[in-house]
Amino acid sequence: MRIFEQLESEVRGYVRAFPAVFDVARGSHLYDEHDNRYIDFFAGAGTLNYGHNNPAISQALIAYLQRDGIVHALDKATVAKKNFLQKFQDTILARRNLNYKVQFTGPTGTNAVETALKLARMVKKRSNVIAFTNGYHGLTMGSLAVTGNDFYRDESYGARNNADSVPYDGYLGPDTDTIAYLRKFLADGSSGIDLPAAIIVETVQGEGGINVASIEWLQQLEALCREFDILLIIDDIQMGNGRTGTFFSFERAGLKPDMVTLSKSIGGGLPMAILLMRPELDQWRPGEHTGTFRGNNLAFVAATEALGYWDNDDFATGVQYKGEIMREELERIVAKYPQLAIELRGIGMVWGLDMGQRPGFAAEVSAEAFANKLVIELAGAEDNVVKFLPALTIEEEVLREGLAIVDAAIGNLLARSEEARRGVVA
């Protein structure tokens, strides 16, 4: 670890939670430099929905490199990009009756968000955008302005420009209709909120703590956008690509967003991000929004291969099946430890155990799980949620093995704290 401590910036984060030097990865397993095997319930924060080094993807990449397929091409036309666009159109858009143009942005999620916000402002000629409490959209200046958690922001960045934050579904408790609240603000010229160009939202907040918006809430939000001529941007960077059980997370609510941001698993594990937009919104002049790494042809090759999982419904059925296993097992864990008053939230193959009733306990669970060779991260404003984000391709036995490690970690921690308490009393 010495070289990392000596040379790498203090900003490094995950290495502190998972202090091992990883070397090899296959499917849902990671191996460190000493060949210790870990189960991965983190999946690159949603980038590895198809697993590490998915054999079909790796084979396609090796074959492409061996025939000297072009790797970097800016936004020139390439066979790899042509194949991706055709596959995406045939397998994803056409089958869902969606009509979008595709813009390749810089290769990370925040690039797609920046692009969406910029385009929305350009088209609507309004500078304001609205986002939601606990939302996470990235950490460059425009996306930071619509990210909720103040851990990432500092007033000195001036990053709050032209963005308002309003309550997400459930934020004010189950009895408050936050859409009615927002409608009042939009309708009232004296509310202090400018009519926005766009509203950006995650249908399930990932980093924000696995908060699942209801179907009704999402539909009302879409209707509100139509009513006030506001563009609806769904940020599907973490929850898209099958995570919630359908390719897009908004399919369960039947939404037709004006724009959709996709990244993480769209590149089959390689850096790639895209913005989908209704064709009328595509008002860019050629080259007006550019960037050197928009044409990651290796990612196009990987992405095209990964989209093969969506040729029929088998993959989505598998996600729903394994999601049920997760729900059942996690419900069992919640019931087993009533003293923790854990709240379970989730959908598809993304679940969270909110342990906020006992501050710091979620971090202890993650650390204890890691000691037992499971990589699992935290989410939520106070890192209060243990977040289950396995690869969608995970084998059922490995999934169950990982869930059992979390169960045992909670049991061990509680037993140890009980022992410590008895020791103090004695």
Ligand X SMILES: Cc1ncc(COP(=O)(O)O)c(C=O)c1O
Task: Give min distance, CB of 47 to ligand X, in A.
Answer: 8
Task: Give min distance, CB of 9 to ligand X, in A.
Answer: 16
Instruction: Give the tokens for residue 210.
Output: 């696995």
Question: Which residue lies nearer to ligand X by CB, 144 or 281?
Answer: 144
Question: Which residue lies nearer to ligand X by CB, 272 or 333?
Answer: 272
- Rounded Cα distance between 381 and 51, Å, is 28
| Binding pattern for the stretch 326-365 against ligand X, x by CB under 6 A and - elsewhere | ----------------------------------------
| 381 is an interface residue for ligand X by CB under 6 A | no
Task: Give min distance, CB of 235 to ligand X, in A.
Answer: 5
Sole binder of ligand X in the list 237, 275, 298, 379 (CB under 6 A):
237
Q: What strands, in cross-sheet order, belong to the sheet with 259-262?
A: 101-104, 274-277, 259-262, 231-235, 198-201, 129-132, 163-166
Question: Which residue lies nearer to ligand X by CB, 207 or 222?
Answer: 207
| Piece in contact with ligand X (CB under 6 A), picked from 16-24, 232-240, 251-259, 405-413 | 232-240
| 242 is an interface residue for ligand X by CB under 6 A | no
**Position closest to ligand X via CB:** 109
Task: Give min distance, CB of 260 to ligand X, in A.
Answer: 11
Is the distance from CB of 332 to CB of 406 less than 8 angstroms? no
- Rounded Cα distance between 361 and 339, Å, is 12
Q: Is 391 exposed, middle or buried (0-12, 13-18, 19+ CB in 10 A)?
A: buried
403: nearest Cα among 417, 416, 415, 389: 389
118: nearest Cα among 247, 281, 262: 281
| Piece in contact with ligand X (CB under 6 A), picked from 73-81, 235-243, 353-361, 397-405 | 235-243
Question: Which residue lies nearer to ligand X by CB, 106 or 318?
Answer: 106
Task: Give min distance, CB of 143 to ligand X, in A.
Answer: 6
Binding positions for ligand X, 97-156, rule CB under 6 A: 108-110, 113, 136-138
Binding positions for ligand X, 188-227, rule CB under 6 A: 202, 206-207
Query: Within 10 A of 397 (CB to CB), how many other CB atoms are there?
Result: 8
| 235 is an interface residue for ligand X by CB under 6 A | yes
Task: Give min distance, CB of 348 to ligand X, in A.
Answer: 15
Q: At what angle do helices 215-227 and 178-187 cross, to 10 degrees?
A: 10
Rg, Å, the chain Cα set: 22
| Binding pattern for the stretch 251-280 against ligand X, x by CB under 6 A and - elsewhere | ------------x-----------------
Partners of 26 in the β-ladder: 29
Binding positions for ligand X, 10-69, rule CB under 6 A: 45
Question: Which residue lies nearer to ligand X by CB, 241 or 413?
Answer: 241
* Per-residue H/E/C for 73-131: CCCCCCHHHHHHHHHHHHHHHHHHCCCCEEEECCCCHHHHHHHHHHHHHHHHCCCCEEE
284: nearest Cα among 80, 101, 72: 101
Spatial neighbors of 182 by CB under 8 A, at least 6 apart, are 130, 166, 167, 224
Quickly tell me which residue has 């870990």 as its tokens.
38
Task: Give min distance, CB of 205 to ligand X, in A.
Answer: 8
Task: Give min distance, CB of 132 to ligand X, in A.
Answer: 11
Contact residues toward ligand X (CB under 6 A) are 45, 108-110, 113, 136-138, 202, 206-207, 235, 237-238, 263
